[in-house]
Amino acid sequence: MSELHRAGSGPPLVLLHGAAMSWRAWTPVLDALAQHHDVIAPTLPGHRGGPAWDRSAGTFTVDRLADGVCAQLDAAGVGTAHVVGNSLGGWVALELVRRGRARSAVALSPAGGWRSGWDLRRLVWTFRVLRVVTRPELAGVIASHPGLRRAVVRRTMEHGERIAPELVPDMIADVRGCDVLVPLLDAAAAHGATRALEHLPCPVRIAWSERDRMIPWRAYGAPMRRIVPDAEFVRLPGVGHVPMWDDPELVVDTVLGVTLPASEAATA
């Protein structure tokens, strides 16, 4: 059975994590969001603990990834929901908007747009290096040294030392256990950036981390203005690519600033 975290009550809120991670990426914000929402945080298909990737079905594209997420939501009895995604999860969140499964969407530094082929190839090499330096036998050492935790995840977080030591082994295993990332990036290189999403059927906020070293705004965020021209664009000050650990309160406020008014409008 695939891993899925669910807690809280209220309008459903789906949290979609980034590449080579799991639902645990949302740990710092789960309790606060569950005070307002029925929070559903699945582990994405092809990731450790998520539904397996069926290699016989062909290329693993983002469309297929979105198909898998829709199947997970169907299995959880969720039709439409507020959707929040980070990085790859942000790309999928925008695809759920396109499919009419989102009541609102917040995409935190979403993947799916890039300035050149070089920008995409750089991501492939970044993740390959990450797999090399995050080895299971190093989990104990990394967990016991806050400075080392910060150094290892420097490209994705400003404050990696805030990661709970007991989560380090799982996070390393998540990186090692993701077998779809390179196929996804290869498919993206072949098919291009995500298709334009215009005439939005629901509120969409795209929030870019100010200190995003993984997919910085100029190369990856600015193209999003052409892809989703009607979205609201905001900046998240002082945080890295995975902002949930750097500033949980900021992320919660960014999410609830969209989901609560959207829920109130729907009720009215």
Q: Which residues are catalytic?
A: 87, 212, 241
How far apart (Å, rounded) are the C-alpha atoms in residues 95 and 83? 10
Diameter of the chain measured on Cα atoms: 55
Q: What's the token pair of residue 199?
A: 């005439």
Q: Return the exposure string of 66-80: e unless at least 16 CB atoms fall within 10 Å of the residue's CB, then b.
A: bebbbebbeeeebeb
How would you list the strands of the sheet with 81-86, edge to edge?
4-7, 38-42, 12-16, 81-86, 102-108, 204-209, 232-236
